[in-house]
Amino acid sequence: MNAEQLRRLLADVQSGRLDIEEALTRLKLLPYEDIGFAKLDHHRWLRKGFPEVVLCRGKTVGQVVDILGRLSARGTTVLATKASPEMFAAVQQAMAGARFHELPGLILVNEGVAPRGPGFVLVVTAGTADIPVAEEAAVTAEVMGNRVERLYDVGVAGLHRLLDHNKLLLEADVIVAVAGMEGALASVISGMVDRPIVAVPTSVGYGASFEGLAALLAMLNSCAPGVAVVNIDNGFGAGYLASLISGQTRGKG
Amino acid sequence: MNAEQLRRLLADVQSGRLDIEEALTRLKLLPYEDIGFAKLDHHRWLRKGFPEVVLCRGKTVGQVVDILGRLSARGTTVLATKASPEMFAAVQQAMAGARFHELPGLILVNEGVAPRGPGFVLVVTAGTADIPVAEEAAVTAEVMGNRVERLYDVGVAGLHRLLDHNKLLLEADVIVAVAGMEGALASVISGMVDRPIVAVPTSVGYGASFEGLAALLAMLNSCAPGVAVVNIDNGFGAGYLASLISGQTRGKG
Amino acid sequence: MNAEQLRRLLADVQSGRLDIEEALTRLKLLPYEDIGFAKLDHHRWLRKGFPEVVLCRGKTVGQVVDILGRLSARGTTVLATKASPEMFAAVQQAMAGARFHELPGLILVNEGVAPRGPGFVLVVTAGTADIPVAEEAAVTAEVMGNRVERLYDVGVAGLHRLLDHNKLLLEADVIVAVAGMEGALASVISGMVDRPIVAVPTSVGYGASFEGLAALLAMLNSCAPGVAVVNIDNGFGAGYLASLISGQTRGKG
Amino acid sequence: MNAEQLRRLLADVQSGRLDIEEALTRLKLLPYEDIGFAKLDHHRWLRKGFPEVVLCRGKTVGQVVDILGRLSARGTTVLATKASPEMFAAVQQAMAGARFHELPGLILVNEGVAPRGPGFVLVVTAGTADIPVAEEAAVTAEVMGNRVERLYDVGVAGLHRLLDHNKLLLEADVIVAVAGMEGALASVISGMVDRPIVAVPTSVGYGASFEGLAALLAMLNSCAPGVAVVNIDNGFGAGYLASLISGQTRGKG
Amino acid sequence: MNAEQLRRLLADVQSGRLDIEEALTRLKLLPYEDIGFAKLDHHRWLRKGFPEVVLCRGKTVGQVVDILGRLSARGTTVLATKASPEMFAAVQQAMAGARFHELPGLILVNEGVAPRGPGFVLVVTAGTADIPVAEEAAVTAEVMGNRVERLYDVGVAGLHRLLDHNKLLLEADVIVAVAGMEGALASVISGMVDRPIVAVPTSVGYGASFEGLAALLAMLNSCAPGVAVVNIDNGFGAGYLASLISGQTRGKG
Amino acid sequence: MNAEQLRRLLADVQSGRLDIEEALTRLKLLPYEDIGFAKLDHHRWLRKGFPEVVLCRGKTVGQVVDILGRLSARGTTVLATKASPEMFAAVQQAMAGARFHELPGLILVNEGVAPRGPGFVLVVTAGTADIPVAEEAAVTAEVMGNRVERLYDVGVAGLHRLLDHNKLLLEADVIVAVAGMEGALASVISGMVDRPIVAVPTSVGYGASFEGLAALLAMLNSCAPGVAVVNIDNGFGAGYLASLISGQTRGKG
Amino acid sequence: MNAEQLRRLLADVQSGRLDIEEALTRLKLLPYEDIGFAKLDHHRWLRKGFPEVVLCRGKTVGQVVDILGRLSARGTTVLATKASPEMFAAVQQAMAGARFHELPGLILVNEGVAPRGPGFVLVVTAGTADIPVAEEAAVTAEVMGNRVERLYDVGVAGLHRLLDHNKLLLEADVIVAVAGMEGALASVISGMVDRPIVAVPTSVGYGASFEGLAALLAMLNSCAPGVAVVNIDNGFGAGYLASLISGQTRGKG
Amino acid sequence: MNAEQLRRLLADVQSGRLDIEEALTRLKLLPYEDIGFAKLDHHRWLRKGFPEVVLCRGKTVGQVVDILGRLSARGTTVLATKASPEMFAAVQQAMAGARFHELPGLILVNEGVAPRGPGFVLVVTAGTADIPVAEEAAVTAEVMGNRVERLYDVGVAGLHRLLDHNKLLLEADVIVAVAGMEGALASVISGMVDRPIVAVPTSVGYGASFEGLAALLAMLNSCAPGVAVVNIDNGFGAGYLASLISGQTRGKG
């Protein structure tokens, strides 16, 4: 509730169009629906330019179905991340139009609402095993209205694979760089272009990768500036951040 | 055995009412029962205001049944934490009145003994996935005689959900704040009220949450003072500490 | 601003006693003073029951003097922690009544305002080197109106030193346990009494104490429940939390 | 050297305007100057939209003077970070127009070249001690042509200080959130606005802040998406990234 | 091969009783049997006072059977640690007299060879869940000829349980203290007696116990000297070390 | 594409034998095959002296079969590491000559292409449980044309087992030392010979071995110089590095 | 106060030789002297076989002088560790006979009281830089009545230096192994002899030694059993533990 | 002492040319000189192909002078690392020909003994601040007889600086890659050439570089095989290892 709305509400009180108790209620009326185990944020689309995103990990199948059902009932796109096939099976039964991206474990309900905008997001991976996380980012950016292209398996072990796509790298508005192991991809790309890089460390690797810690630290210490780091394996967060940056959801384009 | 008891015992020895060997025995008589693999502390209720709590993790089903049986035989309430459904099935067979809270894995025997007192404990979670830990805290505080209310899924990603319950926050004697991921909930609440906050970091999250380490460190470094931190996922400890603080078990109310 | 105040404000608007722009202003009027590099929170005493506490570390001498001067001008007690002797020298010149506790590095201005209440806080240390942190807790609790007693150098290496003070431990409303090295003091005391223990790990120790990490982890994993942990060396936080718990500042006693 | 330049070079070879050895040289001609201990990148302005930035830490005073002298000789703005007063004294002697921001330790030579663009960067800190890092970000963003505003000392311990500036937060194109301790500021702001947040953890704090690790982990685990994390105390990196995002340097505005 | 044996061998060469090639062979003859995937150390009994101990974890069932078969063929006692029931089933089929301690996963072959000596080892645990590790220590010490007594579930949460056994603690030659969580048991016991304490941290606990790290650090930082720490969950190592200390295997008793 | 090739290409353009667009294409023609989820590097044999090695972990069975099929179609040897039996079953169906080393999980296709050279690589392990990692190194070195010998289970607990093979150690061109637990093997061997030691820490151990961290740190801190450390459990990397060092693949022998 | 003493005290009460209040006093009379900032444990010699040891780090010069003065007034030997030259200068002025070991920073007062016993402690170091810690152990063991020999700079980088002293290693009752860097010394010695090894990791090293962590982990993971680990740089603890083990202080010899 | 020498010694005993006691002595005669605080290894040149290297950190000035004096008295080259200017001043007074490399803190005595061989070592750094560590490696490799070239400040932030020197990279026998921050340099170079890369992480950086940990982990997790990692800042170790690899000291060239 912004200042303008508050001013109007106060004017209604002053003019008698609104009595005090009702005004109190409205001031307290929160833009969410309380279903006990969750507070559903239907006005999030307005405030953040995107519907509530549901992180499925840690929730029961029943909770996921309940939450997605209520959120999608208003017609906005709903995105559920880290979902299991079992969750999707139950969701599909309740919401006919739900769609599943199996590799990243993404459920989409009411897809296709967001209008396509001018933002161009390029999603790049160091290896094949990084693709599930990359797809989480790519689908998220697509849902938020961006043009998305994928450039997979171009890690620094064979630098020419990356250098060869120099033109593509230069055209993107923002680049999502997804890499596990030593995570050098983000630094190298950031040294090549003047675009913001959203760096996603992945838990791909073993031993002293410490479940993605090595890649995370590397990306945080990039010698080339312009690298925005998100959490390990956080493909959704990367896609979301890339969309904010590309300007698509802010109506600037 | 306090000074007064010791004085009386010595007086009995002096007067001849008690001979030396018997006095020795009494001085050594410890208020627990030794069953080999465990020392059961029946006098704990007196000393700590609460019965022995049994952490089931790491014990065999047989040990759990044996310990709960002996402790509950004296009629005091017994609380068993981190119990599996298998453990409860075996306990139920032996102790008819046992009850199970499945989400947090709590077994209660002889529930209802503690008189209700004036303490009011509010249990708050950042998200839905934090609820199992929160329930462990809530049930523990209830068993210890507190009035308990729940306020779930009000994390800082949608601050208005929390601000809307400002009044409830101000009414509580002590607030248990349960949060994983970045654990900001505790700091934010502590900045809003003048009550002690018992902060429970949870292992909810992934990647650089490092199984709850991120939330733990955040809560320890709260810029708002008044935050009491317990172990990751330690819902029981939080409920217990909140009860000590609310004064319920100390007969102060 | 609580619901009651809001109701009254709205009534004034309705009755015409208050026009809309003025109401808007009041709703926005924030209880702090903006001096550029700091936002001073003069109403904190009302909201949190205690004045703004100033953490001096990381601030310049000039900033400290400026902030303390403005805060103390309203007559409330001001507490500045982790202050250097240089800072105190400058403060003393500007505020005649300022007092310095050198061991913990505490500056107090307008001391003595808070009325003495019934809370009794016992501050215990494992060793002599833990005393500076303990004094930070003790002075804070005193400033907040508690009766405070010290019991220093009673670590578990000589358990009888602690057991001998069993009676004192049982009398306290809340006990602040300050220990470095293996930090066992908190667990041992918590096993002896039914009072909340505020545990302060200190950086006393060397090698695998890792600057207080060993004591911190020990306190978080206490096998005896009822232990509230604060940050390493955070004596102020412990004294503040103990005061909230002792009920002194809440007018419950 | 992009595809178009290569095409023209090849055409020149075909037409005989350019002989093979000269073409080879040009293809190899690298846009940097080699001074032994450093390779100076004069064309960086073209490639990255910004001059070479010099990290002074770890370099000798002589090296800093030499590098800044050569870079600034071409007239582009040069920014030197983490510089000591000694370094600036030596630089000033050699380059009359050099200017020093003492708090963050920034040296600027040939300032004022970049044209002012429409980007609006808001730099926010949790506390007063975070200001040096924040200033590094703010000055960097200014040098890169952005309008910059500061909002300092609005940490979550007094949430109303932040909520009061809701309008300012909503107006910014990108917000740089600078916080040590528990680093909750980034999550809270990201939950309030739909702008990208560049989060800078600082080493402000002590004990279990572990030199900024606590804030870093908190920011990486933000429950509100849209948070771009940079290295601990990396004010420059934050200002640079914010500028890339604000679009100023890409000629989009 | 010690100096005396070397002297005799040289004397045999000098006198012609031994020719050079044979001497060379003997000098090289190593006291182990090479079976490709393992080098079996039959003379270990002489050199270390104990047979080769086989750590089963990481070996195949076939390797375990093969190694135990060859080692036990010489009649010495063989101890296999961290063995699964499957391993024991296969071993039992091949070696009739093999015996299994299921809780700690210990296999014993040719048990009973070592003569009983005067050493008295007391094995103490903080809780019931520490018993498997404690039994590994107790059985090892028994196999090495010590009198062993168990004192289980006497952690510091109920200090009187421990204090009550003060006499037993004072009688032992060496005490093995087994504890997870905060691991305070070792410090407390070491403060009570003048015997060497072998401290075994266990992985019992959760959250910030970090799989035994908390207990390990606590034991390393014991404020009471006289504590010998071994690896987390290393019951065998503790029993072995306690035996070396008790003097049993060195023929000193 | 090296300078010589570039010179020739330019000459062809100059002479008209090659037109500009074709030259452009060739300059861009990358020596890999793009199959979407992977970029296959057929010229790797030329550039690195070895075919693309496929890390199977994190890839689907279908991806592994597809990649191995395409790579092996050119007749070069292909090595797939960390493969499961299921992966091999599918590969075998598609490529008749594929062979499986079950212990290390290695798949070999088109084995036997590399000519045998003079390099002699000795692979040593501390224990039996280190053998799977050691075999990964040994088979890799064999595939790359080296003579390989194994010396297993010669850890420092029985130093004579190692000292007895002093001659073998001295004969090797390079020694691969594989050890978990305390990882002392690498230091000890490096103190005995003047050959480069490739040290492979393994995750063999438990408790404070922290999944190989203890061995890794030990090897990095070797007091004897000449130790080259690779990642925990990275047998392939060790075998590959040993081959580069032995000179076999560089045509120096 | 043991059972026998308690029995006698009770008999005195029974017979009237002792009245109740006096008995109470005696039962409470604690064997320490309270000087406010420290509790001095004069009966420690009886209970632990050794005088109070004073860790000087973290204490003021005045506190050290005061504590040493009171402890030494009873004539028992007092050992102060981690003392600075400044502390010794002040101590020497107050206690004429005090002696200083500068390398380890040890102060000794009333030295020479303990009778020489049969225990033989061998102190071994890996390098020259480990000597200060080793001397702390050696002097402590000497003060406790042991024969002590030093064997310095025999690390595994030159194994023959260690092997050459095989005989000396075999003669010792207990060996203190002091090593930084990779800390392999303890494992290697433990593989050579059947004596308990007290392993002291030191902070000697740099980089990935992480202030002694590498050596600490190595020693905890020794593949050869019989290794007792103490804290990093804890020479005193090692000497004390070695003395307990050697039996000297227990009157067993 | 190898088998051949042993055979001859035994033959001398057999023939009577050597009596038993003398043979014993020779077998025990160790090739080092014992000066109490150090065991000097004069035969190291033979065994390891290089003189004893003295790590000065942790030694006193007197010890350094004494050790260097004795080692250099035999005429072999002596290399002292991590030496302070004070140490060099003292050494220079005692040994006229000593030379100092100030940046890396290296002292050389009797330089120039090793004959120049065919090995070509290329030392590369990511930045200017990595040069001190790089020089330690370069000088060490030169002393061991290699041709050494430097390529400094070619980090991945400006990839063209590195690609431009492709030819130089391909010519080297072994490449030492020195980098702090994200340490990507090693992976990138290893992807370009088929030579062994010795990777040296440096402590250059701040914040989440954690004193070189980020670079260390990155190098251990290189996605391009062929990378040999040494300790953080261990320039000497890198130069030594590179020399072993280049074959110079093994007489293979």
Quote the DSSP letter at residue G97. Answer: T
Quote the DSSP letter at residue H42. Answer: T
CA distances from F30 to A163, B216, C45, F41, H235 (A): 10, 49, 70, 9, 36
Quick one: closest CA in C to G41, which residue?
C158
Q: Please tell me which of A233-242, B116-125, D19-28 the model is most confident about, judged by mean pLDDT.
A: A233-242
Q: Residue E245: list chain G partners with CB under 8 A.
A: 196, 245
pLDDT given at position F164? 79
Element (H, E) at G80: strand G78-81
**Residue in B2, B225, B247 closest to C240 by CB:** B225
Asked if F7's CB is within 8 angstroms of D20's CB, the reply is yes
* Residue whose C-alpha is closest to residue E228's, from E193, E188, E192, E199: E199
pLDDT given at position A132? 96
Query: Chain B residues with CB-CB distance to A under 8 A?
Result: 127-129, 131, 152-154, 158, 160-161, 164, 204, 206-209
pLDDT given at position B14? 74
Q: Which of E37, E41, E219, E220 to mutate to test the interface with F (most CBs of F within 10 A)?
A: E37
- pLDDT tens sequence across B204-242: 999 999 999 999 999 999 998 999 999 999 999 999 999
Residue pointed to by tokens 């073209």: D46
pLDDT band for H145, please (50, 70, 90 cuts).
confident
* CA–CA min distance D164, chain H (Å): 32
Edge-to-edge strands of the sheet including E174-179?
A: E147-151, E120-125, E174-179, E197-201, E227-229, G227-229, G197-201, G174-179, G120-125, G147-151
Question: Do chain A and E touch: 3 or more Cβ pairs under 8 angstroms?
Answer: no
Q: Name residues whose C-beta falls within 8 Å of residue B93's C-beta, 6 or more positions apart in sequence.
A: none
Asked if H194's CB is within 8 angstroms of F228's CB, the reply is no
Q: What percent of chain D has pLDDT over 70?
A: 80
The interface predicted TM-score (ipTM) is 0.84
* CA–CA min distance E22, chain G (Å): 24
**Bigger pLDDT: B200 or F22?**
B200
**Quick check: helix, strand or coil at residue B253?**
coil
Quote the DSSP letter at residue B153. Answer: S
**Residue in H2, H194, H216 closest to F49 by CB:** H194
Q: Which of D45, D192, D229, D248 to mutate to test the interface with A (most CBs of A within 10 A)?
A: D229
pLDDT given at position H27? 54
**Bigger pLDDT: H22 or A206?**
A206
Distance CA G20, CA G13 (A): 7
* CA–CA min distance E12, chain C (Å): 53
pLDDT at D4 over 60: no
Distance CA H66, CA G153 (A): 15
pLDDT given at position C26? 59
Mean pLDDT lowest for which of E106-120, F177-191, G70-84?
A: E106-120
Asked if H160's CB is within 8 angstroms of D59's CB, the reply is no
Q: Residue C20: list chain A partners with CB under 8 A.
A: 7, 10-11, 14
Strand ranges inside F197-240, DSSP E: 197-201, 227-229
Quick one: closest CA in D to C61, which residue?
D129
- pLDDT tens sequence across F20-59: 766 655 554 344 566 677 766 544 444 445 667 899 998 9
Distance CA D10, CA H48 (A): 55
* CA–CA min distance H215, chain D (Å): 14
- Rounded to the nearest 10 degrees, the angle between the axes of helix A20-28 and helix A3-14 is 170
Mean pLDDT of chain F: 84
Taking a C-beta distance cutoff of 8 angstroms, is the pair G118, G253 a contact? yes
Counting one residue from C and one from G, how many pairs have CB atoms under 8 Å apart? 56
pLDDT given at position F96? 86
**Bigger pLDDT: F249 or C75?**
C75
pLDDT band for D248, please (50, 70, 90 cuts).
very low
* Residue whose C-alpha is closest to residue C130's, from C234, C35, C227, C58: C234
Mean pLDDT of B155-177: 88
Asked if D215's CB is within 8 angstroms of B157's CB, the reply is no
pLDDT band for D165, please (50, 70, 90 cuts).
confident
Measured in whole angstroms, the distance separating CA H249 from the mean position of its chain's CA atoms is 12
Asked if G220's CB is within 8 angstroms of F208's CB, the reply is yes
User: Which own/partner contact pairs does G71-75 have at CB distance under 8 Å and 24+ positions apart?
Assistant: G71/G40, G71/G42, G71/G109, G72/G109, G72/G110, G74/G42, G75/G110, G75/G113
Instruction: Give pLDDT tens digits along chain A (253 positions).
Output: 444 555 676 678 777 787 776 766 555 444 556 667 776 655 444 444 566 789 999 899 999 999 999 888 867 788 999 999 999 999 999 998 899 999 999 999 987 655 556 689 999 999 999 999 999 999 999 988 899 999 999 998 878 788 878 889 989 999 999 999 999 999 999 988 889 999 999 999 999 999 999 999 999 999 989 999 999 999 999 999 999 999 744 443 3
Q: Residue B231: list chain C partners with CB under 8 A.
A: 220-221
pLDDT band for B13, please (50, 70, 90 cuts).
confident
Q: Look up the pTM and report it.
A: 0.88
pLDDT at B189 over 60: yes
Neighbouring chains to F with at least 3 Cβ pairs closer than 8 Å? A, D, E, G, H
Asked if A13's CB is within 8 angstroms of C10's CB, the reply is yes
pLDDT at F225 over 70: yes
Show the tokens assigned to E105.
């996963």
CA-based max dimension of chain C? 73
Show the tokens assigned to F168.
């073998």
Residue pointed to by tokens 């925005």: A228
- pLDDT tens sequence across C36-51: 777 765 444 444 456 6
Mean pLDDT of D157-180: 89
pLDDT at D79 over 80: yes
3-state helix, strand, coil in chain A (%, to 5): 45, 15, 40
Q: Residue B220: list chain D partners with CB under 8 A.
A: 182, 207-208, 214
Count the Cβ atoms, other than its own, within 10 Å of residue H98. 20
Mean pLDDT of G207-235: 96
Taking a C-beta distance cutoff of 8 angstroms, is the pair B135, B104 a contact? yes
**Residue in D193, D221, D244 closest to A196 by CB:** D244
* Residue whose C-alpha is closest to residue A207's, from F232, F82, F130, F179: F232
Q: Residue H58: list chain G partners with CB under 8 A.
A: 127-129, 204
Q: Residue C164: list chain G partners with CB under 8 A.
A: 28, 30
Quick one: closest CA in D to C28, which residue?
D164
Asked if H204's CB is within 8 angstroms of D28's CB, the reply is no
**Bigger pLDDT: B53 or A177?**
A177
Q: Please tell me which of B162-171, F101-110, H115-124 the model is most confident about, judged by mean pLDDT.
A: F101-110
pLDDT given at position C32? 57
Write phi, then psi, for D24 (nearest 5 degrees).
Answer: -55, -50
Asked if C41's CB is within 8 angstroms of D206's CB, the reply is no
Taking a C-beta distance cutoff of 8 angstroms, is the pair H216, H229 a contact? yes
**Residue in G127, G213, G223 closest to F182 by CB:** G223
**Residue in H128, H158, H206 closest to D37 by CB:** H128
Asked if D194's CB is within 8 angstroms of A250's CB, the reply is yes
Count the Cβ atoms, other than its own, within 10 Å of residue C146. 27
Count the Cβ atoms, other than its own, within 10 Å of residue F36. 11
Q: Please tell me which of B22-36, C68-82, F167-181 the model is most confident about, judged by mean pLDDT.
A: F167-181
* Residue whose C-alpha is closest to residue F218's, from F206, F234, F202: F202
Strand pairing report for F174-179 and F197-201: parallel
**Bigger pLDDT: F161 or E238?**
E238
Taking a C-beta distance cutoff of 8 angstroms, is the pair A233, B207 a contact? yes
Asked if A39's CB is within 8 angstroms of B158's CB, the reply is yes
Distance CA D125, CA D147 (A): 17
Show the tokens assigned to F185.
């093997």
Measured in whole angstroms, the distance separating CA E110 from the mean position of its chain's CA atoms is 16
Q: How far apart are the first and last CA of chain A?
A: 26
pLDDT at B156 over 70: yes
* Residue whose C-alpha is closest to residue H229's, from F200, G217, F243: F200
- pLDDT tens sequence across G94-117: 998 899 999 999 999 987 655 556
Neighbouring chains to B with at least 3 Cβ pairs closer than 8 Å? A, C, D, E, G
Q: Residue C208: list chain G partners with CB under 8 A.
A: 212-213, 216, 231-232
Asked if G250's CB is within 8 angstroms of E194's CB, the reply is yes
* CA–CA min distance D241, chain A (Å): 5
**Bigger pLDDT: A94 or B247?**
A94
Mean pLDDT lowest for which of B25-39, B102-116, D48-62, D200-214?
A: B25-39
Show the tokens assigned to F71.
């790579």
**Residue in A225, A230, A237 closest to D53 by CB:** A225
Strand ranges inside H74-191, DSSP E: 78-81, 99-101, 106-109, 120-125, 147-151, 174-179
pLDDT given at position E251? 40
Looking at the DSSP assignment, which residues form a beta bridge with residue B148? B121
Write phi, then psi, for F246 (nearest 5 degrees).
Answer: -65, -15
Distance CA D182, CA D201 (A): 9
Show the tokens assigned to A74.
């208003």
pLDDT given at position A247? 75
Q: Residue B229: list chain C partners with CB under 8 A.
A: 220, 228-230
pLDDT band for F207, please (50, 70, 90 cuts).
very high
* CA–CA min distance H153, chain D (Å): 5
Count the Cβ atoms, other than its own, within 10 Å of residue E168. 14
Count the Cβ atoms, other than its own, within 10 Å of residue B227. 30
pLDDT at F116 over 80: no
Question: Do chain G and F touch: 3 or more Cβ pairs under 8 angstroms?
Answer: yes
pLDDT given at position H210? 95
Distance CA B116, CA B107 (A): 20
What is the phi-psi region of residue C247: left when phi exceeds 0, alpha when psi lies from -120 to 50, beta otherwise?
A: left
Mean pLDDT of G30-51: 58
pLDDT at C177 over 50: yes
pLDDT given at position E95? 92
pLDDT band for E158, please (50, 70, 90 cuts).
confident
Distance CA F192, CA F163 (A): 9
pLDDT given at position H46? 43
What is the phi-psi region of residue A112: left when phi exceeds 0, alpha when psi lies from -120 to 50, beta otherwise?
A: left
b/e A199-209 (16+ beta carbons within 10 angstroms → b): bbbbbbbbbbb
Taking a C-beta distance cutoff of 8 angstroms, is the pair F89, F68 a contact? no
Element (H, E) at A94: helix A85-94
Strand ranges inside chain A, DSSP E: 33-34, 39-40, 53-55, 78-81, 99-101, 106-109, 120-125, 147-151, 174-179, 197-201, 227-229
Mean pLDDT lowest for which of B2-16, D76-90, H190-204?
A: B2-16
Query: Chain D residues with CB-CB distance to C under 8 A?
Result: 127-129, 131, 152-154, 158, 160-161, 164, 204, 206-209
Measured in whole angstroms, the distance separating CA B102 from the mean position of its chain's CA atoms is 17
pLDDT given at position D50? 64
Measured in whole angstroms, the distance separating CA B73 from the mean position of its chain's CA atoms is 21
**Residue in D192, D215, D223 closest to B155 by CB:** D223
Show the tokens assigned to E236.
């065998």
pLDDT given at position A131? 95
Mean pLDDT of chain G: 84
Quote the DSSP letter at residue D52. Answer: P
Strand ranges inside C110-157, DSSP E: 120-125, 147-151
b/e E27-43 (16+ beta carbons within 10 angstroms → b): beebbbeeeebbbbbbb
Mean pLDDT lowest for which of A207-216, D137-146, E18-27?
A: E18-27
pLDDT given at position E170? 86
Quick one: closest CA in H to A156, which residue?
H188
* CA–CA min distance E195, chain G (Å): 6
